Amino acid sequence: MSQNEHDSEHQSPIKTPKQLITVIALAFLVPIVLIVLVSQYVANMRSVDKNSAAMTPDAVAKRLKPVGELAFADAGGDAAKAPKSGEEVYKSVCTACHSSGAAGAPKFGDKSDWAPRLKAGQKMLVETAIKGVGAMPPRGGSAGLSDLEVERAVVYLANQAGAKFKEPAAPAAETTATSAPAAEKAAVATPAAEKTAAPAAGKADGKKIFESTCVVCHGAGIAGAPKAGDKAAWAPRLKTGMNALYASAIDGKGAMPPKGGNKALADAEVKAAVDYIASLAK
């Protein structure tokens, strides 16, 4: 082998300064690029794991869960049922007899009628109204009245005839209910899906109206009122037709005042009560 051939075998491929610079630059850049690529690969793998966990049904449902709910408080709750005033009880229950003096009931505002009764005192009159006496049934025929409501009605009636009875104090629950803003009593905000509620309009409850207004006279047949369920007493009245019965109940007839003495009732409510009473005699 010649000397020239031996030198060419051991000759470096880098022959110029430019090639040297290129080799040095690649020596730095290639490892850096490899490190970057490996880092991105690892980060992508973690992202895939994280996203797969985020896409589970439970995770998706949790993210889609609405932020709030509007729940309406129970209208029948204790806070919503403030005791009636004495005037309200009188107009819805007592006026049927006490406005006309039916069956010997002391007339509203008649001092001579009430004078001997007022001498018995507030406590005795309240006990009599709760238990009933003579033609007057217990609680005036409205079993749903509380003792407080009965006492308020007694005080209201007696004071209209000259007494100076003391109005019973309202319980703490009533004070809270009447002082709270109407919006706060109507709805309470709670976390979860927003809901809306609207009361459905329904037919008037004839039975309920009968028990709160009409039973006072029609339950015992006071002042000639046909007793509920007495087919013989109702037969001639039913023959006149329902329209005639509606008119008598709404306008009043004989000892029965218009709308049974409860002027707050709508005509539809009176008709519903008439339908209920008539159904008991058929």
What's the rounded Cα separation, in Å, for the pair 260 and 96? 6
92 bridge partner residues? none
Distance separating alpha carbons of residues 127 and 26, to the nearest angstrom: 109
**Which residues make Cβ contacts (< 8 Å) with residue 252, sequence separation at least 6?**
258, 259
Q: Is 253 left (phi over 0), alpha (psi -120 to 50) or beta?
A: beta
Residue-level pLDDT at 233 = 86
221 vs 117, higher pLDDT: 117
The topology (CATH level 3) of 206-280 is Cytochrome Bc1 Complex; Chain D, domain 2 (1.10.760)
Radius of gyration for the alpha carbons in the chain, expressed in angstroms and rounded: 44
Q: How far apart are CA 117 and CA 154, in angstroms?
A: 11
Query: For the whole model, what pTM was predicted?
Result: 0.49
- Measured from the Cβ of residue 193, the count of other Cβ atoms closer than 10 Å reads 10
CB within 8 Å of 192: residues ≥ 6 apart: 65, 66, 68, 69
Mean pLDDT of 215-221: 75
> Is residue 197 predicted with pLDDT exceeding 50?
no
**pLDDT at residue 170 is higher than 80:** no
Q: What element of type H or E holds 236?
A: helix 231-239
Q: Distance between CA atoms of 187 and 56, rounded to whole angstroms?
A: 35
Strand partners, 61: none
Domain 86-169: state its class: mainly alpha
Q: Is the pLDDT of residue 69 over 80?
A: no
Distance spanning both ends of the chain, measured CA to CA: 139
* More confidently predicted of 54 and 183: 54
Distance of CA 186 to the CA centre of its chain: 7
69 vs 30, 132, 195, 225, CA distance in Å?
Answer: 59, 49, 6, 52
**What would the mean pLDDT of 143-167 be, rounded to a whole number?**
90
pLDDT tops 50 at residue 200: no
Query: Can you give the pLDDT at residue 262?
Result: 78
The span from the CA of 202 to the CA of 23, in Å, is 92
Q: How far apart are CA 119 and CA 133, in angstroms?
A: 17
CATH topology agreement for domains 86-169 and 206-280: yes
- Taking only the tens place, the pLDDT of each residue in 28-41 is 888 888 888 888 88
Band of residue 195 on the pLDDT scale cut at 50, 70, 90: very low
- Residue 88 makes CB contacts below 8 A (sequence gap 6+) with none
Model confidence pLDDT, tens digit, residues 96-146: 788 877 778 898 898 998 999 888 899 998 898 898 887 788 888 788 889
Q: Which of 85-99, 108-122, 189-203 has the lowest mean pLDDT?
A: 189-203
Closest CA to 229 of 22, 221, 104: 221
3-state secondary structure of 189: strand
Would you kindly state where each structural domain of the chain is located, as residue ranges? Answer: 3-64, 86-169, 206-280
Q: Would you state the pLDDT for residue 183?
A: 41
Least confident segment among 44-48, 207-211, 216-220: 44-48
> Once rounded to an integer, what is the mean pLDDT over residues 80-92?
84
